A and B are shown apart, each in its own frame.
Chain A
């Protein structure tokens, strides 16, 4: 394809899996949160993850609830940095599913979008989520990311009006990240009513995979979310367990329950 904004490895992989009828699962881990943290990646892949989101911790995570904030603080306190986390990933090698980095725009700007995207690729990361980079500010990064072969997934929220939703869907790569509710990341008692409505609206404007995130913490919620979206992102529910001391085996077991719930649908 000559189109510089063509979809990359993450989107090809997710589309292929979705097209087999599989509901997608993308668990999250904060890079550097524990010594040997990359062992979680292998466990996630073994539990049936279709992609893995790796958080590059930032000192001021303004869209994250308390769990991811604590995980970020813990990682930074251990000396985590973009450079070290990417070095860990390069050392860990291929875990069998695409890796999607997520971080705040300050860390992308730090060395500049080009150097940042190139560093991601060198570490084997093929996707990127930047929650404080809305579509109207993303021009500086979309072309650079695509040229580097990094799928930059944009977020859509329940408050996003339709014309903007179309633009987000058009410019997003990898998938469209549907923010299930008007709030921060974190576990919730129930799937928000806004989740289904937003997912329906996004699917009416694009056939790109739609992953629903924010507040999906139980097998029941994953199953319900899987009915609306192509898949789910699970972050805080994973990180709360990690912060409580759960190891890769515990997380493999937890994610397997989500995998089964998604597969039942």
Chain B
């Protein structure tokens, strides 16, 4: 098992999933479309991140936090009964078993450590379902930083327990009352707040979105998922590398981190979006929240609100690297409905004893569908990232089942 964070071994910039360049570009996508007031702050984050990734001390400190606090490495679990039913070999990368219950902690520990290194005393974050907010509050408490989390008023009602969790961890949770009062508005509000607080605060973006260097930096902090899984697959799979690598995509951080570990292999990448939040599958070119990517828009160019039963997929766009991977044909992006996701969650619970987050259930729903219609050949190996556990969704599921 490789324990050291992966950037000790540089990835070739010429291939896919290397360092975006020039100026944070993944092909045509990405960039730093920040208001002028934030450009200098983004440059400082970029500079600090580049220094940190070249510093073995930073890598060691992060590896220690990931191991001792977040509980890494996470297991690769063969889904034995489900595999038999589906006729494929399905392996689950268990991000649900990390501390705080989702992959979000990987990125947040990296950024919190970076913020402390930059001398910032406070983390700013946006959150939808509350998973990134909880992870941010957790990392802030761990490192003695303050945390201010922006959350749409509507999401605060839907996820009251996570609001309480964040406050118990000492974070300030600020309700966002503008626009649709969900994740995209929370993101806008966090950016507005950062403009006035760049001197002492770090904006801890939760996904592979935002102005450069965030899409790249967040992917690098999440690639621990893919790198661990790569080693685990090499040890456990007869073929060494799975035929398919599957993950759910909202902004796309768990997918980016997973794909990154297999970028140089022949594994086929599938990103699974929510039917009502399919930025990659159905978005059009645009600029939002600091990056050029694919976004759901109406005929006038206004951003459309996303709708998904999984709050973490409730974002109207997708990270710029996913837009690029899609254009290259390196990854493909598919959608599943709320109903399919709920069905998949139940099926995993009953066949493997695991209640997945509804976000992760989207990835599984596609695997089930694709195994059924022959898109996944019988006997093929599938690695799926189980990005989070389903505790946060229990009340939603209770109403539906």
Interface set of A (CB-CB < 8 Å, partner B): 58-66, 69-70, 73, 76, 81-83, 104-107, 109-111, 131-137, 154-161, 164, 168, 179, 182-184
Contacts and interface: CB of A to CB of B under 8 A. Distances in A.
A182 B193 CA distance: 10
A132 B179 contact: no
Contacts of A156: 36
Given A62-B35, A109-B292, 15 more contacts: A59-B303, A60-B303, A62-B188, A63-B37, A63-B192, A64-B192, A70-B178, A81-B302, A134-B33, A136-B39, A137-B31, A159-B40, A161-B40, A183-B37, A183-B195
Task: List 5 A-B pairs, minimum CB-CB distance, nearest first.
Answer: A110-B301, A157-B37, A81-B300, A59-B302, A159-B40
B295 to A, nearest CB: 7
A135 B32 CA distance: 10
Contacts of B302: 58-59, 76, 81
Contact of B36 (A70, A160, A183): A160
Contact of A73 (B36, B179, B184): B179
Contacts of B195: 63, 182-184
Chain B interface main SS type: mixed
A106 B297 contact: yes
A110 B286 contact: yes
A168 B288 CA distance: 22
Interface string B286-305: 11111010010100111100
B270 to A, nearest CB: 28
B198 A137 contact: no
Interface size class of B (residues with CB under 8 A): 20 to 34
A135 to B, nearest CB: 8
A182 B33 contact: no
A109 B184 CA distance: 19
B100 to A, nearest CB: 28
A237 to B, nearest CB: 19
B255 interface: no
Contacts of B198: 159, 182
Contacts of A132: 33-35, 287, 290
A129 to B, nearest CB: 11
A106 B36 contact: no
B33 A137 contact: yes
B34 A184 contact: no
Contact of B300 (A82, A179, A184): A82
A106 B192 contact: no
Contacts of B32: 134, 136-137
B41 interface: yes
B63 interface: no
Contacts of A135: 36
Contacts of A133: 33
A182 B200 CA distance: 13
A194 B196 CA distance: 12
B36 A157 contact: yes
Contacts of B310: none
B303 to A, nearest CB: 5
Residue from B191, B295, B301 whose CB has the most chain A CB atoms within 10 Å:
B301
A104 to B, nearest CB: 7
B35 A105 contact: no
B285 interface: yes
Contact of B287 (A69, A82, A105): A105
Interface in B179-195: 179, 184-185, 188, 191-192, 195
Contacts of B33: 105, 132-134, 137
A107 B35 CA distance: 16
Contact of B35 (A58, A110, A131): A131
Contacts of A182: 37, 195-196, 198
Contacts of A136: 23, 32, 39
Nearest to A110: B301
A58 B303 CA distance: 8
Nearest to B199: A182
Contacts of A64: 192
A106 B179 contact: no
Contacts of B178: 66, 69-70, 73
Contacts of B185: 60
Contacts of A58: 301-302
Contact of A63 (B35, B300, B301): B35
A161 B39 CA distance: 10
Residue from B33, B41, B196 whose CB has the most chain A CB atoms within 10 Å:
B33
B179 A60 contact: yes
Nearest to B177: A66
Nearest to B23: A136
A168 B40 CA distance: 14
A137 B35 CA distance: 11
A80 B347 CA distance: 46
Contacts of B303: 59-60, 106
A106 B295 contact: yes
Given A76-B302, A136-B23, A106 B287 contact: yes
B312 to A, nearest CB: 19
Residue from A61, A62, A157 whose CB has the most chain B CB atoms within 10 Å:
A62
Residue from A59, A65, A154, A183 whose CB has the most chain B CB atoms within 10 Å:
A59
A57 B195 CA distance: 21
A126 B111 CA distance: 43
A156 B285 CA distance: 27
